[in-house]
A and B are shown apart, each in its own frame.
Chain A
Amino acid sequence: MKIKGKVHKFGNNVNTDEIIPASYLNTTDPGQLARHCMEGIDKNFSKIVKRGDVIVAGRNFGCGSSREHAPLSIKGAGVSCVIGRSFARIFYRNCINIGLPILESKEAARRIRVNDRLKIDTKRGTIEDITLKKTFYAQKFPPFMQQMISAGGLMKYIKKKKSKIRLRT
């Protein structure tokens, strides 16, 4: 997938309570969740974020609860990719599972600045900072994950394998 977007930057250890506070977890609607995206850390985020924008974060992004509402709210807000120095494992899993592009790169997370314009090729793992005129390389996905990403997420992956696992339909 090829992505173009503007950068919103966040620091270390941004947790899922900040991404989507628990008081909004009484719904699963991505549109409603998007209206409160990042509210615990930046009340204006949902108003300023534009379709295609990219989140660039520090260490351990998405730590805390397992709520899939967190990546759903980010995806619902129109964010096209999340780049981080490192990610909390359930958040990382959830992004892969719901088909929200997620890339790990220490260099990119450190050097990319707020409002920079990026061009990303998720398949090749390249992050081009047009403003900085510099290209960063994300960690490659292991083949197992690549399969799931190409299928478009876990449920589509399972559907594809449907004949093999004999779904009880």
Chain B
Amino acid sequence: MEATITQKILAAHADKKSVEPGEFIEAKIDFALGNDITAPLAIKEFERLGVKRVFDKNRIALIPDHFTPNKDLESANQCKILQDFAHKQKIRHYYEVGRMGIEHALLPELGLVSPGDLVIGADSHTCTYGALGLFSTGVGSTDLAAAFITGRCWFRVPESMKFIYKGGLKKWVGGKDLILYTIGDIGVDGALYKAMEFTGDAISRLPMDDRFSMCNMAIEAGAKSGIIAVDEITKRYVGFKRYKVFASDKKAGYSKVIEYDAKTIEPQVALPHLPSNARPVKRIKNISIDQAVIGSCTNGRISDLRIAAHVLKGKRVKSNVRLIVIPATQSVYLQAVEEGLAEIFVKAGGLFSTPTCGPCLGGHMGILAEGERAIATTNRNFVGRMGDTRSEVYLSNPAVCAASSIKGRIAHPEEVM
């Protein structure tokens, strides 16, 4: 039976020869993740059942990244629940402030997730890791609690949608633009319950960081997962370790196959209040901004900061704009310091912060007031996402975000280079 990469990974973890879309399975998981918002609920459920030990203390990550460094007393108490549980259960992958990072950048960086794995996380952007040729998906806190106990999770095997990107990318276009363009095309429920499989020669040339950005936003099209098959770029990133490589068969069944001419795709901006409101940045005129945020699990990796610094070098952020740059992990932070990127941001008049999800979800470190407008390299521009319900968020890649901070309005990088 011909199968997709997603079917094959799920079958392998359910001890089955093959699985079909629509089938319900209980599968073994290789890794489970929770954060300071979702894990406290899971821990509460876990303890309510009176279970003494987690299924495997080495296969769980607890990452306090959303409201950390603790933004208020309540958040501090939430984080304390994680810390106490990690200590009690001897959870190996608990990372304290100073060593942590935004979960979806941190786990791949530490090599905790590998090709062929099945990963769940109580965070919707868990789909990020699919960039490594594995199946990963977001679940809720109760699912996480169940996984803590059983090491298993229930799934409905998804249909797959195949996206083929052909041709070379324009200057200033990256993975973020490809995914915004795609969501703009199919809509925020265009891939509801499905696995999005990204292929084509444009993808085979796409660097790892851009692949993470693409799979990260699969959820914004309603997808269960995003996935890119393992190739030389993946192998170089993962390095020398044992893992299993799965690939889709030539005649595998897809609910839809969509082809894009990648060379015509321009840098994109998604207008409020849905990620599907994507337009070429060139078509957006005179949208002034109060804030520019570069960071998040979507675009807070080193190559994102390099592009932003390249645009900002020797220039100044517009006097009435707040530029907030947040490296996704401590090692990205350190690298940005060593490469002189941090200096470029600060000299330009921007802020360079410790890793946190912070402003992306309107948590802290950059909340918008009523009527304020931000451009951000984050993943959601819902009503009130970054603060007041009457504020606005525009989504873009790091180069567009940096250029906009200089101009004080949404701008194409060409306008400042």
Contacts and interface: CB of A to CB of B under 8 A. Distances in A.
B380 A168 contact: no
Contacts, number: 143
Contacts of B382: 15, 17-18, 40, 64
Contacts of A18: 382-384
Contacts of B319: none
A49 B75 CA distance: 28
Given A13-B274, A60-B192, A154-B146, A168 B52 contact: yes
Contacts of B380: 15, 17, 64-65
B38 A66 contact: yes
B200 interface: no
Given A89-B222, A97-B140, A66 B72 contact: no
A27 interface: yes
B188 A60 contact: yes
A114 interface: no
Interface residues of B, number: 55
Interface in A46-85: 59-60, 63-69, 72
B222 A63 contact: yes
A22 B188 CA distance: 20
Nearest to A40: B384
Interface string B39-70: 01100110011111101000000000011000
B331 interface: no
Contact of A66 (B52, B53, B78, B124): B124
Nearest to A93: B140
Interface in B334-376: 361-363
Given A17-B384, A66-B122, A155 B138 contact: no
B60 to A, nearest CB: 14
Given A89-B192, A97-B142, 14 more contacts: A13-B188, A17-B383, A18-B384, A26-B67, A65-B380, A66-B123, A69-B41, A90-B138, A93-B140, A148-B154, A154-B143, A155-B45, A158-B146, A168-B51
